[in-house]
Amino acid sequence: MPAPIASELAYIRFVSVENMMKLVHSIGLETMLKDLARYIEDDFRRWEKFDKTPRVASHSAEGVIELMPTSDGEDYGFKYVNGHPKNTREGLQTVTAFGLLARVDTGYPELLTEMTLLTALRTAATSAMVASHLAPKGARVMAMIGNGAQSEFQALAMRAICGIDTLRLYDIDRAATEKVVRNLKQKGFDLVPCATPEEAVEGAQIITTCTADKQYATILTDNMVGSGQHINAIGGDCPGKTELHKDILARSDVFVEYPPQTRIEGEIQQMPDDFPVTEMWQVITGVAKGRTSARQITLFDGVGFAIEDFSALRYLRDKLHDHPHYQELDIIADPDDPRDLFGMLQRARPVG
């Protein structure tokens, strides 16, 4: 990485929600999901290079606020994200986020961005990238349980990366399912709204659970899961917030991002501390096996890890060269003499 020039560091690039929407349309949503999956897979391949820590969570009765930092030694990134399942009742989103990328050599930030949309994109790209390694060959049908903010992105990534063309939809709130049907009806899916979760999982090779409720919920019971299915369980991502009955975990092969975080937050919080899991980076690098038989139940206990956000930030920085949807943000002090911060303050002294 070339040394920075001081004048270049006076401003950082800022991607607002408005500019993120423009960027997604100018790149193309499905292209972006595929690109993000590639960036995430590349970073999983160099997993051992990263500083890793479970995210730093601040819990309240209503939800959680989290910081998710990581670094590969050259860049440093973090995301601020919340999870408040009750928010939608008040017209607010369950998940909102923003993130930052900085240079390790100077510690100067380079990029600040909205990450609510980017989180939905990176979560969907991660789910589909993982499913491309674990789902049964030729999977076409996905059950989508929980039809909230993440769901259309999950569906589109699973189609772009894994070839899913049929969606069996279920949500306790019928209006959520109707929203997905409305949003995806021109997108070439076979859409099947279902009256129960049992109906939704019928004939599905992939089951995605993406519900929001701050409790030990049982979205899937053991009898609903058949041999050979791949479960993409991404809604349970906090202590005390799970989606699957533990009997499903006992008869599945469970794959995770970063075990120290997943054991706190994932479905496996219901299991003993030494419950065996396989890390996805090891499957991707060929160190560990993924799906080994057509009858095996594979379960991705996805909670969302900082490296996925780092990959998304890295991708965004690269794309801003050709798609300059950003503003310059005056967030770094730039005194003429680095030690004369006081002198810089005088620039804004009222005249007269």
Among 94, 132, 166, 327, binds ligand NAD (CB under 6 A): 94
Q: How far is the CB of 240 from ligand NAD (least distance, A)?
A: 12
Q: Which residue has the tokens 């060929």?
A: 286
Contact indicator for 169, 192 with CB cutoff of 8 Å: yes
Q: How far apart are CA 177 and CA 119, in angstroms?
A: 21
Give the residue among 159, 98, 150 at the shortest CA–CA distance from 120.
Answer: 150
**Positions marked catalytic:** 237
Exposed / middle / buried, residue 9 (Cβ in 10 Å: 0-12, 13-18, 19+): middle
Instruction: From 19-27, 67-75, 147-155, 186-194, give the range in contact with ligand NAD by CB under 6 A.
Output: 147-155
Q: How far apart are CA 35 and CA 20, in angstroms?
A: 15
In the bound state with ligand NAD, the residue whose beta carbon lies nearer, of 211 and 278, is: 211
Asked if residue 312 binds ligand NAD (CB under 6 A), the reply is: no
Asked if residue 109 binds ligand NAD (CB under 6 A), the reply is: no
Distances (CA, A) of 149 to 9, 85, 92, 155, 179: 36, 11, 11, 12, 10
Asked if residue 306 binds ligand NAD (CB under 6 A), the reply is: no
Among 102, 162, 164, 176, binds ligand NAD (CB under 6 A): 176
Asked if residue 148 binds ligand NAD (CB under 6 A), the reply is: yes
Read off the tokens for 170: 């279920």
Distances (CA, A) of 223 to 170, 218, 279: 17, 12, 26
Read off the tokens for 341: 């911060």
Among 54, 99, 109, 146, binds ligand NAD (CB under 6 A): 146
Q: How far apart are CA 187 and CA 209, in angstroms?
A: 21
Over the window 33 to 62, marking each residue x when it contacts ligand NAD by CB under 6 A and - when it does not, the resulting string is: ------------------------------
In total, the chain counts a number of residues equal to: 352
Among 95, 125, 204, 207, binds ligand NAD (CB under 6 A): 95
Among 219, 220, 256, 312, binds ligand NAD (CB under 6 A): 219
**Which positions ≥6 away from 41 have C-beta within 8 Å?**
129, 284
Position of minimal CB gap to ligand NAD: 148
Asked if residue 254 binds ligand NAD (CB under 6 A), the reply is: no
Q: How far is the CB of 172 from ligand NAD (least distance, A)?
A: 4
In the bound state with ligand NAD, the residue whose beta carbon lies nearer, of 13 and 55, is: 55
Among 123, 229, 242, 298, binds ligand NAD (CB under 6 A): 123
Among 19, 96, 147, 229, binds ligand NAD (CB under 6 A): 147
Asked if residue 149 binds ligand NAD (CB under 6 A), the reply is: yes
Contact indicator for 154, 212 with CB cutoff of 8 Å: no
Instruction: From 27-35, 204-212, 274-282, 291-299, give the range in contact with ligand NAD by CB under 6 A.
Output: 204-212
Q: How far is the CB of 205 from ligand NAD (least distance, A)?
A: 20
Strand 230-233's sheet: what is its strand order?
190-193, 166-170, 141-145, 206-209, 230-233, 298-301, 253-256, 278-279
Give the residue among 308, 305, 232 at the shortest CA–CA distance from 39.
Answer: 308
Asked if residue 235 binds ligand NAD (CB under 6 A), the reply is: yes
Which residues would be at the binding site for ligand NAD (CB under 6 A)? Answer: 83, 88, 94-95, 119, 123, 145-150, 170-173, 176, 210-213, 217, 219, 234-235, 237, 302-304
